[in-house]
Structure 1
């Protein structure tokens, strides 16, 4: 039967290991408040852990120093470990857990690395992995994809206002999509789709009739070209008529009896309107004058507009304006209930942004003065 440990024996045992008890002995299995004779800090080791398991009597400063001592490496040894993971160190070893300036042996980029991170597999080179992107490197990639950025690099996943060098149209591709898929342009893509959708005369006529449109002239030979036709619902003659790819895309064809939307391949405009009552600014795009008339009926006043041969180009500028405004921390000013004809997400309070400031930005962005 094990001998019972008396308080006197326990105190002598703890003193012999560098700790002075400051409370009565609670037993071998309970925490016992002791003051470390080395660092003078108080901790609560268990007598049984100290005597039978060999744990230390201090879990404060002394314990931290012991752990640090175990982690100390010879500088040459540490540098060799870094080199084995692809990093050439550029300064003396700073110690465990500290940043260490090193150069990637594969691409030459210099990064602050931690030895512990590198050893755990978290020290890979982000530049070699393609995750380090500067404005210069991003523009180079865009240029190689026949795209000319018109604003500063916004980030890999953000729309980037750019001009297509193949067809001169404006778009908003992301750097990430261009990097993985190459050239991105809605206009060039439309041309490819038109080629894919090319039909013979009989198939083309059948598609028009399915859309309740009676062709009045022979098929023009392309799904992207307007085709003169008569609406079979209201007898309206459409000249120029709708493009076949719009009909096959279920976008409707007759402006008199079909629900209308914005056609990016047709002329349109970018506009700015203000509302005195809401003290708000709104930007938007449209194919027809009806859009501004709708806003005017709700108390909005036209400030400026910029005409474009293709509404798709105006749309790209509209998205960039929104990115720029929201990037300044300006939230939308109105709710869906306050906008009968839609467009609440393209609004901002004139208390948060100056109208003249927005006008100057749009003029600089589009490189043109407003048409009205």
Structure 2
């Protein structure tokens, strides 16, 4: 007995509570109908699953009366949470995405082919259902279109940095543009990109107080960061560049020397175009790279460092000077 109350604290109390909450079948059915559920069988009793049909969509579910009358017995099919492989494929196809494997789950990456550009990616069902078509490649094209400059704006950007274009605007901020420095008259060929010109790299590197001089000897390098699981490629004139990266946890994988850094620059642009062309995004942010260069990064999970090295060797027709790849 419960001290001071004179009432049995176990069996008697439980029976009293159950008696108070007990409903007859008609009352229980009325509650279910009020909340949109049509019972398909006799009331099984409190706390037991009761098979009923949703009056809105016809889905049959086992519902507990207590859950329904407390507002927790909504129809998951009406809410869109009951997803079959067939219904999920239909939604993806309507969003111009062709599933290549079975439905993995609402929040899991789903291997699909974009029906607009043929790019293969891994959007999630939940994101497509909420936002519609999801494709990294198509999104990149939209961003590029939004950022694209007309010839007049492009020319103004070059002249603002002291560069006089020698050929018509190539039509993209990522393509090199042959130009002459109005200060030292150095011809920059194949030339800088508008992306770099409008960024922090500025104009002519030959007469700049610091930065990369394309006329001097330099090198192209490949480094990896095991902690970030990332790969980085880049070019430099000074040995200090490698030391800077090493101090931040990077290790040198390979290096190719050039008599002129402008040649290394051309290789760097080609590698970036090749990597991004496969739909592989940059791995790190500017805040993660103390000495810059985050735009030339990729996750090792997205691309193999051995494959990158083989591609570079095929471009230059020679192996790196140092060090050997482990």
Give yes or no for the alignment of 1:185 onto 2:135: yes
Aligned to 1:125: 75
Q: How does 1:1-372 map to 2 (within 5 A)?
A: 43-46=1-4, 49-50=5-6, 57-210=7-160, 214-220=164-170, 222-223=171-172, 226-230=175-179, 237-239=188-190, 242=193, 244=194, 248=198, 250=199, 294-295=252-253, 311-313=276-278, 315=280, 346=300
Compared CA separation, residues 211 and 194, structure 1 to 2 (3 A): farther
RMSD: 4.6
Q: Secondary structure at the match of 1:140?
A: helix
Aligned to 2:259: none
CA contact (8 A) 1:208 1:247 kept: yes
Aligned to 1:331: none
2 CA distance for matches of 1:195 and 1:217? 22
Question: How many corresponding residue pairs?
Answer: 251
CA contact (8 A) 2:169 2:177 kept: no
2 CA distance for matches of 1:310 and 1:167? 17
Deviation string 1:126-153 (CA, Å, 9 cap, x unpaired) is 2211223333322221111111233444
Instruction: Say which structure, 1 or 2, has more relative contact order (CA 8 Å, 6+ apart).
Output: 2
What is the CA-CA distance between 1:199 and the residue it aligns to? 3.0
Rg larger for? 1
2 CA distance for matches of 1:147 and 1:286? 31
Give unmatched runs, 5+ long, in structure 1. 1-42, 51-56, 259-272, 274-279, 298-307, 320-340, 348-358, 360-369
Compared CA separation, residues 129 and 251, structure 1 to 2 (3 A): farther
What is the CA-CA distance between 1:69 and the residue it aligns to? 1.9
CA contact (8 A) 1:197 1:223 kept: no
Deviation string 1:102-128 (CA, Å, 9 cap, x unpaired) is 222212222221111111111111221
Aligned to 2:270: none
Q: Secondary structure at the match of 1:295?
A: strand
Deviation string 1:203-230 (CA, Å, 9 cap, x unpaired) is 112223556765331113x335624234
CA contact (8 A) 2:166 2:180 kept: no
TM-score, reference length from structure 2: 0.59
